[in-house]
Chains A and B, each alone.
Chain A
Amino acid sequence: MRRRTLALTLALALLTGVVAGCGAQDGSSPSAPTQTGADENGSGAAPQNTGDTAAPEDSDGGEKLAAVQELNLLLFDNRVYSLDTGASHNPFEWHILGQTGEGLFRVFADENGFDVRELAGAESYEISDDGLTYTFKLRDHNWEDGAPVTAQNYVDAFVRVHTPENAFTYSFFYQDIVNAAEALAGAVPPTEIGVRAVDDKTLEIKLTAPAPYFLDKLTLPVYYPVRADLIGADTDSSWGSSIEKTISNGPFKFAEWVRDTSVTLVKNPEYWDADSVRLEKVTLTVVNEDSTRAQLFNAGQLDVVSGAADYFATWKAQADAGEIVRVERFNGRLARLDFPWEGGTTGLTNNLKIRQALSLAIDRQEAVDLAFNGLQLPAYGLYPTGVSISGTPVRELVSEPLTELAAQYVNDDAALRKLFDDGLAEEGFEGTRADVTLSFFTTDVVESLKVLQEYIKQTWETKLGINVNIDLVTDQGLAYQKMLGFEYDVAYSNNISTDYNDPYHWASIWSSTGGTAQYFGGYNSPRYDAALSSLAAESDPAKRAEIYAELERILVAEDYQIVPIYYSQLEYFAQPYIRNFDFTSLVSPYEYSRAYIVEH
């Protein structure tokens, strides 16, 4: 009996000890329900031009500021891997780093939701006549510890990015700069790239060839200034794994970062335009489930919500009634199908006629209605809405090449089948369409995308009478290998984001020498490459537009290398008491440094 008591006591002691030791708490969460501001249909901030500092202290148009200025947002997809700006490589990181840092420019949104580039860390700039030298005059402003932001900080950042040992994902991005490619290849020390601090306030960048879109490339946080004295000159990027060593020169600074869970930002009082920054705290939280997002938004604990498609109908009604705000934005992405240029599981999708049949059979409008309740925009071209050419939206200058053909063929099953049969004959395929089984490769587990892919599969099976196998690979490493090895007949993807606001970003992906084409089907067309290189000599926007149009036509409507499905659109709903909250399209989804909350 006593032995058993002993065992019991020991076990309980063990239990208590563990409980006591685990009493320490961790983690943060959105604070108790706080109220935040809302946006009026995507209105941009009053442009922050040079010299324009403080916005009116309190009320705008008769509204009073709320007492508590705190914002609660969603942390998208918890893919914030590191706080090191040089190492950053996805829009989720760029969004946060853009708020806790400042580069030469900052992007806001205009009334129509198109991105507008404003001067920020730079006060003014000059481009030489030959388009090769950019000179930036830096604004007088300080880091959060009072040290001034100097041109050398920028130089240090560029040097870090171009140091091969750092192995940064976006190190390829600024190869327009003199010696950049050579530095990355190890042929030249990184300090010799064409970025130079003329003096403390003047930064000079030299390019190898004129690039009209270069300024747009400077909206990415990858090159944001760094404090070499604080992070050390070596290649250890571990300072980005916690907020201890980060230092801000932007509107906010880090208060807390809990992996996979949340990020908390607070206002940076040293920011040069701190008077315009009225938010005291911004909390971003990961919320994995749609229904949870909806609960939080409806309870006022979340200020901006997106992605919970089922609730859109209810929220739309509320927005129409003026209770909340609804914003639609293109986010510069194209959902499409890729074909292997050569090879593939059956090899049949190399054939032009088969490609045509597959591309024209899809009723894009119906697909989008089914999977997304009509939210996305059916696509008949390459360049996503939201991208501009020198300030004009690309889709106003270039019309989509596939629209008419698609309308002509989409309901004509007989014509589609004939196309497919002709293709089979060309390939010397023995058997009929019913003997064909295509491998449809995808990596998505999101419900709406599964619906879309199922729909496409069924379309092909019913309209063309073939068989389609969906091959789902969720593991990134495996998927990457499969794409490189062309182990598919058709692959769905929506993995290209627009890094800078120019169609060149998109067109260059299918260049046979760029290194990316291999991953997207291995496209190799001398005509396409020739057209692409002709852009280097052309700086007139109208002429460039023509070349972009030709490139798009070749890719989509002549070689049918890709099958555009839809231009990504995001729908946001926001609480009605937020102001000056910008929904930007490219690079980062939000810009809220000038946002504020009104009394409600």
Chain B
Amino acid sequence: MGFLKYALRKLGLMVVTLAIIASATFFLVNAVPGNPIAARTLRMPETVKAELYAKYGFDKPLWPRYVITMRGLLRGDFGMSAVYEGDTVPNIIASKLPVSARLGLQQMLVGVTLGILLGVVSALKNGRAADFAIIALAAFAVSIPQLVFSLLLQKFFAGAKTGLPIIGWSGFKSTILPTIAGAFVYTSFYARLMKSSILDVIGQEYIMTAESKGISGFRVVTRHVLRNAFVPIITYLPMTVAMCVTGSFFVESVFTIPGLGYYYVKSVQQRDLSMVMGLTVFIAALLLAVVFVTDILYKLVDPRIRLERAGKR
């Protein structure tokens, strides 16, 4: 069956890509001279130092370490963190991913919805003052560095009087400010996308046919235009979801949120190899999986395949 073969082939390709990514990460991280545990060995007796190096595999040269690491990966074992005793990739993901994902999705919900709404208005008022105002506003919202915006939000909402906690992550209220801080990065993009998509659809012939049939303007917009205009949005949504789920460093840092974004950047800074590799592979796998699923979905709804199957009967 053509479709099954297609899916399996794509899956195989995905695995190969992940393997290459893992290898590339390994070599990249090791390309920086020095290692994360060297600084701890300053006053250690030689024997203890040797034990420490052996514990994290730094006593072996590069290639044997590579082989060991890749073998471990096949078993699903990324090893232990060299910085935080006892941390493993699975338990870090289990504890931090839900936090980042929730924050990311909330931000997306607010930002994308706002963007779509603005895009619709902008399309309907194309070329007029409102259109320019919206574009300018959206562009401005995306121009403020997230860090500065987060700090300003904190400053503005500090104090018990507003009831909004300015750091931490427990209870719905504490998610409000971080959500606002990160929502607007999506607004401009989706507004623009929605607007051009609507204008695109409006220009197309079957809409003009609908109009000529006498269907009223409002119904034209709601029934035909929107439904078709959403298609490009759907194309981009899965990728946006995948990318936002992994967290944003600045928002998490300023609001002290125990998310993946902050931890990942810290791991890279500290060159904690196991964690960097594990998290990179995880994030890459997530993105690739999303691409894969999208591909499959589109293949499923692709008229050419359906016709093909119809023809075979």
Q: Interface of A with B (CB < 8 Å)?
A: 1, 3-8, 10-11, 14-15, 18-19, 22-30, 32-33, 81-82, 84, 87, 89, 164-169, 171-172, 181, 184-186, 237-242, 258-262, 285-289, 291-292, 295-296, 298-301, 474-481, 514-516, 519
Contacts and interface: CB of A to CB of B under 8 A. Distances in A.
B301 A167 contact: no
B297 A10 contact: yes
Interface stretch (B3-11, B67-75, B164-172, B277-285): B164-172
Interface stretch (B20-28, B119-127, B209-217, B258-266): B258-266
A481 B44 contact: no
Interface in B10-63: 32-36, 38-49, 51-52, 55
Given A23-B102, A25-B98, A285-B256, A242 B86 contact: yes
A317 to B, nearest CB: 20
A477 B98 contact: no
B85 A87 contact: yes
Contacts of A475: 32, 34, 269, 271
B174 to A, nearest CB: 6
- Listed residue (B85, B92, B99, B154) with the most chain A CB atoms within 10 angstroms of its CB: B85
B143 interface: no
A1 B227 contact: yes
A285 B168 contact: yes
A246 to B, nearest CB: 12
Contacts of B51: 164-167
A553 B143 CA distance: 57
Contact of A241 (B39, B86, B170): B86
Nearest to A519: B42
B245 A238 contact: no
Contacts of A477: 32-36, 38-39, 271
A18 B55 CA distance: 38
Q: Across chains A and B, which 8 residue pairs bring their CB atoms closest together, nearest first?
A: A29-B168, A241-B86, A477-B34, A238-B86, A295-B158, A167-B52, A82-B85, A22-B101
Given A167-B52, A295-B154, 5 more contacts: A22-B97, A241-B87, A296-B167, A477-B271, A515-B43
A166 B55 CA distance: 9
Contacts of B84: 81-82, 241, 259
B159 A298 contact: yes
A238 B258 CA distance: 20
A287 B45 CA distance: 36
A481 B167 contact: no
A298 B167 contact: no
B99 A26 contact: yes
B48 A184 contact: yes
B129 interface: no
A258 B258 contact: yes
A1 B42 CA distance: 69
A174 to B, nearest CB: 12
Contact of B256 (A33, A184, A261): A261
A7 B301 contact: yes
Contacts of A286: 256
A11 B45 contact: no
B112 to A, nearest CB: 10
A260 B101 CA distance: 18
A296 B234 contact: no
A260 B32 CA distance: 25
A186 B227 contact: no
A29 B169 contact: yes
B181 to A, nearest CB: 13
27 contacts: A7-B234, A7-B298, A10-B297, A22-B97, A23-B102, A26-B258, A27-B258, A29-B167, A29-B174, A165-B51, A166-B51, A167-B44, A169-B40, A169-B44, A172-B44, A185-B46, A240-B86, A241-B86, A241-B87, A242-B86, A260-B266, A261-B168, A285-B256, A300-B160, A477-B35, A477-B271, A478-B34
Contacts of A285: 167-168, 256
A97 B126 CA distance: 64
- Listed residue (A23, A81, A167, A242) with the most chain B CB atoms within 10 angstroms of its CB: A167
A18 B45 contact: no
Contacts of A169: 40-41, 44
Contacts of B231: 4, 7
B89 interface: no
Nearest to B106: A19
A164 to B, nearest CB: 5
A171 B38 CA distance: 15
Contacts of A33: 160
A23 B47 CA distance: 48
B259 to A, nearest CB: 9
Contact of B47 (A84, A164, A291, A515): A164
A365 B131 CA distance: 59
B160 A299 contact: yes
Nearest to A81: B84
- Listed residue (A26, A82, A477) with the most chain B CB atoms within 10 angstroms of its CB: A26
A262 B168 contact: yes
B152 to A, nearest CB: 9
Nearest to A175: B45
Contacts of B52: 167
B237 A15 contact: yes
A526 B305 CA distance: 85
B258 A184 contact: no
A341 B119 CA distance: 67
Contacts of A7: 231, 234, 297-298, 301
Given A286-B256, A292-B151, A298 B168 contact: no
B161 to A, nearest CB: 9
B203 to A, nearest CB: 18
B105 interface: yes
Given A289-B254, A291-B155, A299-B159, A259 B166 contact: no
B301 A3 contact: yes
A474 B262 CA distance: 17
A189 B87 CA distance: 29
A288 B86 contact: no
Contacts of B270: 476
Given A25-B102, A82-B84, A288 B238 contact: no
Nearest to B161: A299
A416 B48 CA distance: 46
